[in-house]
Structure 1
Amino acid sequence: MSERVTISVKDHIADVRFNRPEKMNALDAAQIDAIVEAGEKLAAMEGIRAIVLSGEGKAFCAGLDMGSFAASAAAAVEENKGSESSPLASTLCERTFGNANKYQHIVLLWRKLKAPVIAAIHGPCIGGGLQFASAADIRVVAPDAKMSIMEMRWGLIPDMGSYTTWRSFVRDDILRELTYTNRIFTGEEGRELGFVTHLSDDPHAKAMEIAAEIASKHPQAVQIAKDLINKLPDMNEDEILMMESAGQDKVSRTPNQVEAVMAFMQKRTPNFTD
């Protein structure tokens, strides 16, 4: 797999790192392809119970690589001279990954992974970087991290699927202000705004601690709970109640569920199977 993204696995935890530190893990075409490849590899891996997503170097992800983006945009404009339509319009509107385009898929695939994803954020977490972080189940952020819905600075809107995630944890008026103004806020303020689960001076260490706790639980129960939480915004009460019941039916009295009870009663570490 491309070294633009690295994956190491220990004790059922995948430690995934954006690995373009010389560019603060900014997104060019090769980085986007590497992130998709990493996500698809994780989806196919057995025995992964938790995932920690972080960035090497001084940043989580500084968003678009503007040098690369400007060059490709200029080339597209030159190629489409005389046309009244946007050179990107046909590409962006193509549903090449189910109900999403490639740029939405690259973010939402992290939300769709069976195992919970914990984002460990330090330094700049800007634009597309914040959209990646927003797809995680849990966000552990350094107090001095710099975060922003940055797209309006470039005359763009956020278009990597994050409206589907932000609606579940960001208040409406706050989302509007941050989107319209693209102002930068710290990790500390981000906790008040709804973007941050935990503050930590060592986000990666704290994220690994949470991942270890999750990895110690009944893996199928965690996966079913995540799937239910993912679907909450789109379900009515009847659908939620039925999904609760169906999920409980899948895990109740299974060997792993019995093991969870026995391990607790015997005061020992459970031995689950994947």
Structure 2
Amino acid sequence: MTPSIRREPAAGHVRITLDRPGRRNALDLATVDALIAAFDEDPAAIVVLDSADPRAFCAGADLGITDEERAQVSDRLYACYRTMVERPGPVVAVVDGPAVGGGTQLASAADLRVVGPNARFRWVGPGHGLAVGAWILPSLVGRSVAFELMWTGRWLEAAEAQRIGFALAVEHEELVEQLVSLDPAAMARTKAIVNSDGLLDRLRAERENNVASWAGSVAGLR
């Protein structure tokens, strides 16, 4: 397992921790592949996804890699989101720092989001020629708010995230304790039913749209 990701067992759940503090947990290809492997290792487990550095949850794709690798990272991230959605075990994202682009998408792909006072989220796709968040944000906050967040690229601060239902105003330890006490099979069925509303079709459409956008952008640089 790459050192940019830590996967550790905890009481009744598994903790997956982003651990690239020098890069604000920015995502390169190795980190994304490690995330997918970590989520796949025990699909039924309750997972808490967090950051080793509370000052940043995830800065999105690493700007220090080549454009070709960033295109690969973008595509592989959709495989990661799909893994998070399809795995039967719940995923709880614990965010207490900025999340941008792919980092915001990781938090969105979790089943539940718990935020600290310093959490903030930003969808920056259209400014870079990409569709980011369209597959899931409307189902979390409604169409109008989703369009406004995606198109303006403004920051969604913690208090507003809680107010509009994007995140929960609870302690994540208490939330995980409640999840651990529930029937895993019933939670898995509930998750499957909730996600049967075309979510994966929208994820696939956004992924394919962005593959085409990246192909044009990278070709234009040659």
TM-score range, shorter chain: 0.7 to 0.9
Aligned equivalents of 1:127, 1:193: Cα separation in 2:
19
Aligned equivalents of 2:90, 2:156: Cα separation in 1:
26
Task: Confirm or deny: 8 A CA contact 1:52 1:208 kept in the other structure.
Answer: no
Opposite residue 152 of structure 2, the aligned amino acid is T
Secondary structure in 1 matching 2:93: strand
Which structure has the larger Rg?
1
Secondary structure in 1 matching 2:182: coil
Aligned partner of 2:78 in structure 1 is: 104
Q: Determine which of 220, 229, 234 is the counterpart of 2:185.
A: 220
Task: Confirm or deny: 8 A CA contact 1:143 1:187 kept in the other structure.
Answer: yes
Aligned partner of 2:9 in structure 1 is: 9
Aligned equivalents of 1:155, 1:217: Cα separation in 2:
42
Aligned partner of 1:143 in structure 2 is: 117
Task: Confirm or deny: 8 A CA contact 2:88 2:191 kept in the other structure.
Answer: yes
Q: How does 1:5-154 map to 2 (within 5 A)?
A: 5-43=5-43, 48=45, 50-57=46-53, 58-68=55-65, 71-73=66-68, 102-154=76-128
Deviation, 1:111, is 1.7
Aligned equivalents of 1:5, 1:104: Cα separation in 2:
18
Opposite residue 112 of structure 2, the aligned amino acid is I
- TM-superposition CA deviations, 1:150-205 (whole Å, max 9, x none): 223333321xxx43322321211111111111111211112233321226xxxxxx
Q: How does 1:177-216 map to 2 (within 5 A)?
A: 177-198=148-169, 206-216=171-181
What is the TM-score normalised by the length of structure 2? 0.80
Deviation, 1:63, is 0.9
Give me the CA root mean square deviation. Answer: 2.4
Aligned equivalents of 1:42, 1:25: Cα separation in 2:
23
Q: Which runs of 5+ in 2 are unaligned?
A: 200-222
Q: Determine which of 127, 132, 147 is the counterpart of 1:176.
A: 147
**Runs of 4+ residues over 4 Å off in structure 1:** none
Aligned equivalents of 1:6, 1:134: Cα separation in 2:
20
- TM-superposition CA deviations, 1:41-96 (whole Å, max 9, x none): 232xx6x2x2111111121111111121xx334x99xxxxxxxxxxx6xx79xxxx
What is the TM-score normalised by the length of structure 1? 0.65
Identity, % of aligned positions: 28
How many residue pairs match? The answer is: 197
**1:167 and 2:138 are equivalent in the alignment:** yes
Task: Confirm or deny: 8 A CA contact 1:139 1:198 kept in the other structure.
Answer: no
Aligned equivalents of 2:180, 2:113: Cα separation in 1:
17
Indicate how the Cα distance of structure 1 residues 188 and 226 shifts in structure 2: closer, same or farther if over 3 A, else same: same
Opposite residue 188 of structure 2, the aligned amino acid is Q
